Structure 1
Amino acid sequence: MVRQFLAVIAGIIVGSLGIWLMERLGHSLYPFPADLKPDDIEGFKAYVENLPFMGKFIVILGYALGALISGFVATKVTNKNNPAAAVICGIIFLFLTIYNMVMLPTPVWFWILGIAVWGLVLIGYKLALNKNKE
């Protein structure tokens, strides 16, 4: 039970780092306005609303990377042939993603991909199992 808990924590940390790295890439390609303050929620909403397609799609790619590595790491830490830790990571990230989509102006395609992409934790799980067999 402790190992499973630690696996979920590790999966969340590594998945978050993957998302953060992709979002940093997105912000380097589509920087924040110079006058945007960290506590300016309305300004951030306007920034997100005006992002071009690729700016938003990079976020989805970050979610995909986060899902894959989260599922992989959680499975490696549990060292079991059971997807529970990977699925728990996916569910936690899914709820956080839905929260972000509710708070920010995101198009329908973003909602669809933003929800579907978290199923990739199971691919990360499968990849970890294949590595365990070698």
Structure 2
Amino acid sequence: MKSIFRNILALISGLVVGGIVNMGLIMISGFIIPPPEGADITTMEGLQESIHLFQPRHFLMPFLAHSLGTLVGALITAYVADASKTKWALAVGGVFLIGGITNLIALPSPLWFNIVDLVGAYIPMAYLGALLANKIQNKDL
């Protein structure tokens, strides 16, 4: 029974911290790569109306936010989980993937970004997070 609670706590911790990393990067992205002139990025409606103004460079920070949020969340989950660490890390990737699909529906973006984001940012990063957690834990021994 203790193992189940630890694994659920690991999943929740990974999702929360991964979400914080994701949102943190999204929040600072406008300072790193300024939005196009006339784009209102403060609301979903503003983004929907101005997405056509975005150039490929404007999609770099969202991709990094999705990738790094998933990576960090999966790493934490796999590190804390008691058993089936890779499966729990991939669960984080699955939850973030569902969020990515939801975002794609709410905010239509270029097809190339949708493919790169959905294929590269979630499940591969979750698996990498599990591998990194395993490496870190093996060094501790």
- Report the TM-score range of the alignment, normalised by the length of the smaller protein: 0.7 to 0.9
Aligned residues: 133
Secondary structure (helix, strand or coil) at the match of 1:88 reads helix
| Corresponding residue number in structure 1 for 2:128 | 123
User: Aligned match of 2:98 in 89, 95, 98?
Assistant: 95
| Corresponding residue number in structure 2 for 1:30 | 34
| Corresponding residue number in structure 2 for 1:50 | 53
- C-alpha deviation, 1:48, in angstroms: 3.0
Secondary structure (helix, strand or coil) at the match of 1:83 reads helix
| Corresponding residue number in structure 1 for 2:14 | 11
| Corresponding residue number in structure 2 for 1:70 | 73
Asked if 2 retains the 8 angstrom alpha-carbon contact of 1:49 and 1:105, the reply is no
Report Cα offsets for 1:35-71 as digits up to 9, x if no partner.
Answer: 9596x54322123332221111210011111121111
- Shift of the 9–53 alpha-carbon distance from structure 1 to 2, 3 Å rule, reads same
Asked if 2 retains the 8 angstrom alpha-carbon contact of 1:8 and 1:89, the reply is yes
- What RMSD, in angstroms, separates the aligned Cα atoms of the two structures? 2.2
Report Cα offsets for 1:91-121 as digits up to 9, x if no partner.
Answer: 1110110011111121111111221211211
Give the share of equivalent positions with the same residue, in percent: 23
- Shift of the 45–35 alpha-carbon distance from structure 1 to 2, 3 Å rule, reads closer
Asked if 2 retains the 8 angstrom alpha-carbon contact of 1:71 and 1:124, the reply is yes
- C-alpha deviation, 1:32, in angstroms: 8.5
Unaligned residue ranges in structure 1 (runs of 5+): none
- C-alpha deviation, 1:80, in angstroms: 3.5
TM-score with structure 1 setting the length: 0.86
One-letter amino acid matched to 1:118: Y
One-letter amino acid matched to 1:53: P
